[in-house]
């Protein structure tokens, strides 16, 4: 059995709270071989409710395998524009870099 540290933000907190699930700095035990997608499915969260998944501070795809000690954060759609680039959710376009 492995453990990860889980956080959800904004509207995802409300959804998880309604389900009686914790959402802030929560230790979650999981079986080896679980992916981010598996975790999301187990929590009953729709993919439409998630814009980005951070694993250990980096935006990662849903098929990322989770390991013991990982930090996972789910971010819903609606993060303001400039923060999208800073958080790695969107790359700077060529016009933004010149």
Least confident of 10-19, 54-63, 84-93: 84-93
| Residue 2: pLDDT over 50 | yes
Helical segments of the chain, H only = 11-18, 36-42, 81-86, 94-97
Q: What is the pLDDT confidence band of residue 96, given thresholds at 50, 70 and 90?
A: very low
CA 30/CA 70 separation, integer angstroms: 11
CA 71/CA 4 separation, integer angstroms: 6
Percentage of residues in the chain having pLDDT higher than 70: 80
Condensed to tens digits (0 to 9), the pLDDT of residues 4-51 reads 999 999 899 999 999 999 999 999 999 989 999 999 999 999 999 999
**Rounded to two decimals, what is the model's pTM?**
0.82
CA 96/CA 23 separation, integer angstroms: 34
* C-alpha distance from residue 60 to each of 49, 71, 79 (Å): 16, 12, 17
- Tokens representing 91 are 């790359």
């Amino acid at each position: 059995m492995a453990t990860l540290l889980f956080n959800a933000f904004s509207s995802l907190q409300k959804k998880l709270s309604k389900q009686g699930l914790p959402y802030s700095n929560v230790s979650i035990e999981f079986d080896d071989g679980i992916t981010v997608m598996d975790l999301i499915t187990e929590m009953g969260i729709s993919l439409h409710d998630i814009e980005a998944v951070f694993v250990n501070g980096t935006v990662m795809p849903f098929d990322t395998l989770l390991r013991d000690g990982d930090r996972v954060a789910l971010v819903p759609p609606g993060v303001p524009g400039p923060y999208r680039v800073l958080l790695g959710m969107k790359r700077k376009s060529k016009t933004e870099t010149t």
